[in-house]
Amino acid sequence: MREDKNRMKMGIISGASHATKYKEKNPKATEEEVIRYVTREVEKILKEIDK
């Protein structure tokens, strides 16, 4: 249970980090575009956490 909470926290932080980096590279991107990008990247993010 604790491991799942830690994984979720790491996922949230990593997703926010990806969103920030995407927005820096694409300053005119809308919030919707940023969310779509992070959503597409979720599998990669989770694989990185599981390493």
pLDDT at 1 over 80: no
The single-letter DSSP state of residue 32 is: H
Task: Give me the domain span that covers residue 21.
Answer: 2-50
Cα–Cα dist 14/8, whole Å: 10
Tell me phi and psi for residue 18, to 5 degrees.
-60, -40
pLDDT in tens, 15-40: 999 999 999 999 999 999 999 999 99
Q: Could you give the number of structural domains in the chain?
A: 1
According to the model, what pLDDT value does residue 8 have?
Answer: 86
Residue pair 38/22 in contact by the 8 Å Cβ criterion: yes
Token reading at 44: 């990669």
